[in-house]
Amino acid sequence: MMFLRTLVLALALPMMAMAQTGPSAEIQLTIRQQLDAFLEGDVARAFSFASPGIQQIFRTPEVFGGMVENGYPMVWRPGEVRMLDLREEGGSLWQRVVIRDADGRDNMLDYQMLPGEDGWRIGAVHLLTDRGLSA
């Protein structure tokens, strides 16, 4: 009986660990890695986290970086980052993120996440707030 309990526990632990490092953790890591790349000024690396469709639209890391710097300054130079819910909507996974900008305002964004051959990629980013969130 003790052997059976040990065996069940031994089989359950890896599955519990996989659940904790499943798509949610991988998706959050992808977003954080892109944000870190922007902070480090590594636009080429940040561009590598974009989906092939986004890469095709912007063609080069420099054009992509210019769009982010001008259109999404909170992503270009993020402060505090908080990951909220991951949800499925219209057949896509969307990760909600709150990013504090240089002025100390919180901005809510939705990241569309797409599976790729080498991991998750960012397919779109929607700014949900025009100005910082209030408490």
pLDDT tens digits, the chain, 135 residues: what are they?
A: 554 454 444 444 444 444 445 679 999 999 999 999 999 999 999 999 999 999 999 999 999 999 999 999 999 999 999 999 999 999 999 999 999 999 999 999 999 999 999 899 999 999 997 555 554
Fold of 23-127: Nuclear Transport Factor 2; Chain: A, (3.10.450)
Domain boundaries, the chain: 23-127
Prediction pTM value? 0.79
* pLDDT attached to residue 6: 45
Range 122-130 contact pairs with CB under 8 angstroms and sequence separation of 24 or more: 122/30, 122/31, 122/34, 122/49, 122/50, 122/51, 122/54, 123/51, 123/53, 123/54, 123/92, 124/54, 125/72, 125/75, 127/72, 128/96
